[in-house]
Amino acid sequence: MREVVRLEGVWVYYNGLPALEDVSLTVERGDFLGIIGPNGGGKTTLLKVILGLVKPSRGLVRVFGEPPEKGRRLVGYVPQYSPYDRAFPLSVWEAVLMGRLKHSRPLRGYSREDREEALKALEAVGILDLKDRRVGSLSEGERQRVFIARALASKPRLLLLDEPTASVDKPMETELYELLNRLRSEVTIVLVSHDIGAISIYVDKIACLNRRLYYHGPKELSEEVLKDTYKCPIELLAHGVPHRVLRRHEET
């Protein structure tokens, strides 16, 4: 089965106002999809619909051919903000093992398989040497790798990431994108970002979302599509690493 996610005519309202308007989208096995759009455009809401955390007012949602509440057992999720008390004495190893909770047996602790999968996840993101460190002592980039490892420990077939580089510096941002690029051979990836230029280097498909879906397809985007999505003129420039420049525009 190649189809991983299917949305048909999805509408979501918050306090009577539309957050998603008639969104239809298909994600196939092996995709590395980047979802871009302005703040408040519904990107996080879309991920929560896929996870079954937000129920649409109208429309159909299927994850691995099932309703999202069932299909999400095969989904790993890294939210934009992972609240964490730096003073809490939680080790990297313990944090990553938490990704196995839905597989562990109640009151019987973690199994050998749980520990093996946690080790594999630590190795996959390159932080096995940090497993005994406290999560609160890590840099933002290292902590983000912990959260990705926690998601991978559940052995997902789909990995959803919401602005995974929002709180890291540029060198670490590049490392995280390269890490995801390596992982794409093992798991389908959907990545939400506001940074058009950075993700365009790595993803193979892009979805432009601003409540409505303005584009979904190969990453070669026209200026008109971006203008329609962001509701203002946009110019893409390349100097070393591609980045975006937004022209000043009139308030409406």
Question: Tell me, what CATH number does 214's domain have?
Answer: 3.40.50.300
The pLDDT of residue 251 is: 41
Q: Is residue 91 part of a domain?
A: yes
Q: Is residue 52 part of a domain?
A: yes
Q: Is residue 54 part of a domain?
A: yes
Going from the C-alpha of 82 to that of each of 17, 28, 146, 147, the distances in angstroms are: 27, 27, 11, 8
pTM of the full structure: 0.84
Q: Name the least confident of 98-107, 153-162, 219-228.
A: 219-228
Share the mean pLDDT of the chain: 84
Tell how strand 75-78 and strand 158-162 pair up.
Answer: parallel
Question: Rounded CA gap, 54 and 56, in Å?
Answer: 6
Going from the C-alpha of 147 to that of each of 69, 93, 143, 182, the distances in angstroms are: 22, 11, 7, 17
* Mean pLDDT along residues 19-44: 94
Question: Which 3 state secondary structure label does DSSP give 249?
Answer: coil
Q: Is residue 111 part of a domain?
A: yes
Q: Is residue 251 part of a domain?
A: no
Q: At residue 44, does pLDDT exceed 70?
A: yes
Domain that holds residue 29: 3-246
Domain count, the chain: 1
The residue behind tokens 């691995």 is 64
Strand 17-28: give its sheet, edge to edge: 17-28, 3-14, 58-63
